[in-house]
Structure 1
Amino acid sequence: MRNILIIGAGKSTSSLIKYLKEKSTSEKLFLTIGDLSLDNAQKFAGDHENTKAICLDVFKEKERKEAVKNADIVISMLPARFHIEVAKDCVEFGKNMVTASYVSK
């Protein structure tokens, strides 16, 4: 199984999680959904066998690093200004990271 850490369980995350859940069996994916609100993360994880929810505060270095370290790839759905610490951890642990952020004019 490839372990995907999704950080942030806001409204914009729902389509991503739905898509990855649908592909999880055929593509051998396990999703860890981390959010400051465990309730939000659990809502998105549901009872799907290839998902789990965790409470994840990206400002708590120890828990953030542990979550990143255990992932094969990190998807940050946080606001752009919060990506930097996650990105530093990904570099430290040699993990790929993608975001839905962009820079506008």
Structure 2
Amino acid sequence: FRYGLDIMRENGMNPRVIRVGKANLFLSSLFTEAFVNTTGVPVEFYPSDGSVGAAMGAGIGAGVYASPKEAFSMKPLQLIEPTDTKIYETIFQEWKALLNNQID
């Protein structure tokens, strides 16, 4: 995910928060810690999963909601902030160097 996020950043997109459902891999505190510290971006947890977001998007398109604001008015359960980005940055850069060696 970080690799793709860096590409987004290179193109002028700089997310201040990543919103996720409290489901799947984000049920693991270890995964969440690694994700937040590798990306360096806080994560907001919501009481849903991807299917709920997809249904809300479809509801907006179908006119079920008066506005996107109405559809996405759910409040976050929790916010996790990056705390130990230095070690994760080192590991990510090592992984990226290995990847680039394989690509070249």
TM-score calculated relative to the size of structure 1: 0.36
TM-score calculated relative to the size of structure 2: 0.36
Higher strand share: 1
Rg comparison, structure with higher value: 2
